[in-house]
Chain A
Amino acid sequence: MNQPVWLLMQKEYREIWRSYRLIWLPLVFILLGIMDPLTTYYMKDILQAVGNIPEGMALTFPKLSPLEVLSATISQFQTIGIVIVIVLTAMMISKEREQGAVALLYIRPIPVASFIWSKLCSMLTLVLISVCVGMLASTYYITLLYGAITIRELSIAFSLYSIWLLFVISFALLCSAWCKNALSIALSVLVLYGGIIVDAILGQYWTISPWKLPHYAVGVSMHSVELQDVWLSIISSVMSSVIFIVVAMIAMKHKKDTVTI
């Protein structure tokens, strides 16, 4: 196994492990995963404990279904978790280039593609593990407080959300391969997170886009969405990810001489 891509991947995995990333990112997603089921369930008690609610005021909260809470958990991932993922990915190539260590690899006969693959695979592994344990923790709390979620429902949610993550990571990697570190972070947050906000405000006007996948992740099981829209969103995400990755490889080749020596 002395193919460049394996050697570079080994380096990436060692970093993930030794910088504690493989510990703290899953912990963060577990926190995000259990926060929502807990707070929505005890919202009434929390409000009563902190606020002085007038005697006669009726506090009625709609009883949420387990799937609705899972959907809320994904929204939670989408507000905080995804920013962390975007920033971490957007720094992967550009920061290495600015710091300079990669110069001593660039001078060796290594195909550019293996750099990109090693980054993509390591980040995907890290993020999928984190999201997986986050969803499992959320499901555990939902099952305790609201009711059961089937394995099928959970797998669909995880799979669709994973495709969204592939899209996010590919785009952020492209920014990182193309731009300076600061610009890469700004651009990827602007486009990816900006897209989330735009979709939240105006999303009713379209049904097919990578940004829809986090909604569809649970929506499919709730039968609230057209399957055709889901498939087309999946296809558009995967295809744009492939394009981003190919362009990232080209961009990385062209930006080789911006490396700090």
Chain B
Amino acid sequence: MIKVENLTKHYGHHIAVQNVSFTLEKNTKTALIGPNGAGKTTILSMLTQLTTATSGRCWLPPPKEIGFLPQYPKFYSWLNAEEYLMMVAQLSGLTKKQAILASAKVIEVVDLIKDSKRKIEGYSGGMKQRLGIAQALIHQPTLLLLDEPVSALDPIGRRDVMNIIHNLQDTTVLYATHILHDAEQVTDNVLFIQDGQIKEQGSLQEVKQKYGGKQLEVVFYTVQDAMQFAAQMPSKVEGERVLLSATRYTMHQLLAIAAPHSEKIKRLGWKEPSLEDIFLEVGK
């Protein structure tokens, strides 16, 4: 279990992080969500002990059990990926034999087999990002801290990396992101942060419940039809969409009400608030 209590960081007069407290249960995945400059990177760098906190306390695993991926990982350009991974693996406490096995494995996981003997100098941004993930995973950390792990990647790279994160079993993951669509796929818990403070936290389900819960959605072909339909009952109109609270109506009731209008309706179904909706809501 990882626990953080009243973590605060001041840079001169600027307050980067203010009284942040949270707990990460063992082997859960938590997304740290917030706009750029909200303090995500500062929190992560305090957890890695690269930055000393102004005040507050942390209960963390020892450094050799922490893996960290910075937003823009930098490497030694004159080494190749294999040499680099061998070095960091042994620096994290693995024996040479373990390091050979571990580096072969992570090279495969991040799909760098073809390029593992090439100097890092010639790597593209995406390849560096994948090497960054490899170095964060190589010593099988119990706590994995990732700073925007997918923002530098193309859609395929993003999916691959999110799959890697998704498949991690015995690791507690905390990852900072502003790409909410990806976060939604793999996360158990969310921490919303803004201006250095936590605005909302909880499990994905809890937070979604709190911000609207489930809704029913009816999409019409034209805006007029939507407005006419909405006028009959308490609801919300967004363009061609009509949103109804799921606590007020059951799907069964909705179908009965909507049946006479069926030829005007394009689509009808359940709608959960996306993280994006919540993010905008929290930010207000």
Contact = CB atoms under 8 A, between A and B. Distances in A.
Q: Chain A contact residues: over half helix, strand or loop, or mixed?
A: helix
A258 to B, nearest CB: 10
Contacts of B87: 7, 10-11
Interface in B90-114: 90-96, 99
Contacts of B52: 257
B264 interface: no
Contacts of A261: 41, 45, 50, 70-71, 147
A2 B74 contact: no
Interface residues of A, number: 26
B90 A2 contact: yes
B85 to A, nearest CB: 11
B135 interface: yes
Given A7-B90, A108-B64, A257-B51, A103 B78 contact: no
A98 to B, nearest CB: 10
B91 A19 contact: no
A253 B50 CA distance: 11
A107 B74 contact: no
Nearest to A254: B52
Interface string A95-133: 000011101111111100000000000000000000000
Contacts of B83: 14
Interface string B42-53: 000100111110
B68 interface: yes
Interface string A7-29: 11011001100110000000000
Given A2-B95, A104-B70, A14 B79 contact: yes
Contact of B93 (A14, A99, A109): A109
A106 B91 contact: no
A260 interface: yes
Given A11-B79, A18-B78, A261-B70, A105 B50 contact: no
B91 A15 contact: no
B62 interface: yes
A103 B70 contact: yes
Contacts of A203: none
Contacts of B99: 2
A122 B266 CA distance: 71
A110 B93 CA distance: 9
Given A18-B78, A104-B135, A261-B45, A109 B88 contact: no
A256 interface: yes
B68 A104 contact: yes
B78 A108 contact: no
Nearest to B41: A261
A14 B76 CA distance: 10
A137 interface: no
B18 to A, nearest CB: 19
Given A259-B50, A261-B50, A105 B79 contact: no
A105 B91 contact: yes
A2 B86 CA distance: 10
A104 B63 contact: no
B213 interface: no
A185 to B, nearest CB: 21
Given A106-B50, A108-B64, A15 B76 contact: yes
A4 interface: yes
Interface in A58-111: 99-101, 103-110
B90 A256 contact: no
Interface in B26-82: 41, 45, 48-52, 62-64, 66, 68, 70-76, 78-79
Given A11-B76, A108-B92, 10 more contacts: A8-B91, A14-B83, A15-B76, A103-B50, A107-B50, A107-B66, A108-B63, A109-B64, A110-B91, A261-B147
8 contacts: A2-B90, A14-B79, A18-B119, A101-B74, A104-B68, A107-B49, A107-B68, A257-B51
**When A and B form their complex, which 3 residue pairs have the shortest distance between CB atoms, in order from nearest?**
A100-B74, A2-B90, A101-B74
